[in-house]
Amino acid sequence: MLHGSIPALITPFKNGGVDESAFARLVEWQIEQGTHGLVPCGTTGESPTLSHGEHQRVVEICIEAAAGRVPVIAGAGSNSTAEAVAFTKHAAEAGADAVLHVTPYYNKPTQAGLIAHFEAISDASGLPILIYNIPGRSIVDMTPETMAVLAARDNIIGVKDATADLSRVEQQAAACGADFIQLSGEDATAVDFNQRGGVGCISVAANIAPALCAQMQNATAAGDFDTALALKEKLMPLFDALFCETSPSPVKYAAAQMRLCDEEIRLPLLPASPAARQKVDAALSGLGLI
């Protein structure tokens, strides 16, 4: 089962292209630190600015480097259903364990349109599918009732929930069943999410503090919420700093400060501002990461 601390991996760039060696090293370090799974080509991986060839190569590198030690959930979402299907087929051929599909952004489909979109992806491949519900970026909110229709399909297995509405955990469990996998998409509320029935987090902060994020998730899985809450309190300055400006600018800066990769980011995003850098530096220093 997909669970625990699952970083939405950054995509390292160098001189305008994907830094393949840095990305492979990042995957190896993540596994060494106790990460439970990996998501290449999510929003944090700057998927909107990757060419199709780059997107496919990043997924392939992640699968090759992970070598079956942890599950790889390939980002494959698009606001074009045909493109989402193509990315899903590639992920299956490359050996991904599952795919993550965001609700189509910009187009603003109805709930019936969302069902048709995900059914088309489901029909095209038997690969397990996670729905990514993030109304703040996609402008579309998939309701628990719509999710229940999709959850009836064998290969639509769960959700990455970034609605910031913790009541959704119980609502989605009631609608979709206890076996429907619910992963948080927000670091700051991940412990509370698990207390309500979630089983993990697809995380930005785990790019930078994978061991602590894994420990926090392990504590919730063991029912030790006192330890989990203490770790959350310790990590909160980092959670806050990494979202003080549009992600992934702050997390790219943090990774550069930790010598994980270059800071390079693609337009229309800009490198972290001086004020953001101060916040990130303070958070990294407080955790002993620099």
- pLDDT tens, residue by residue, 180-226: 999 999 999 999 999 999 999 999 999 999 999 999 999 999 999 99
Is 37 a member of any domain? Answer: yes
With respect to residue 205, please indicate whether it lies within any of the assigned structural domains.
yes
Tell me whether residue 246 is in a domain.
no
Residue 266 included in any domain: no
What's the average model confidence in pLDDT over 82-87?
Answer: 98
Answer whether residue 278 is part of any domain: no
pLDDT tens per residue, range 104-150: 999 999 999 999 999 999 999 999 999 999 999 999 999 999 999 99
pLDDT band at 16 (very low <50, low <70, confident <90, very high): very high
Span 258-266, mean pLDDT?
98
Strands (E), 147-240: 156-161, 181-184, 200-203
Percent of the chain with pLDDT over 70: 100
Question: Judging by beta carbons within 10 Å of its beta carbon (0-12, 13-18, 19+), is residue 18 exposed, middle or buried?
Answer: buried
What global pTM score does this model have? 0.97
User: 20 in a domain, yes or no?
Assistant: yes
Tell whether 271 is covered by a domain: no
Q: Does the pLDDT of residue 58 top 90, yes or no?
A: yes
pLDDT the model gives residue 68? 98
What is the predicted pLDDT for the residue at 235?
98
Q: Give domain status of residue 256, yes or no.
A: no
Mean pLDDT of the region 236-249 = 98
Among 105, 160, 252, 279, which one carries the catalytic annotation?
160
Q: Which residues pair with 4 in a beta bridge?
A: 200
* CATH number of the CATH domain containing 198: 3.20.20.70
b/e sequence 148-174, b meaning 16+ C-beta within 10 Å: bbbbeeeebbbbbbbbeebebbebbbe
Q: Is 102 a residue whose pLDDT tops 90?
A: yes
Domain range enclosing 130: 4-224
Answer whether residue 1 shows pLDDT above 90: no
Total tally of structural domains belonging to the chain: 1
- Which candidate in 105, 132, 232, 253 is catalytic? 132
Instruction: Tell me whether residue 132 is one of the annotated catalytic residues.
Output: yes
For the question of residue 14 being annotated catalytic, the response is: no
At 245-261, the pLDDT tens digits run 999 999 999 999 999 99
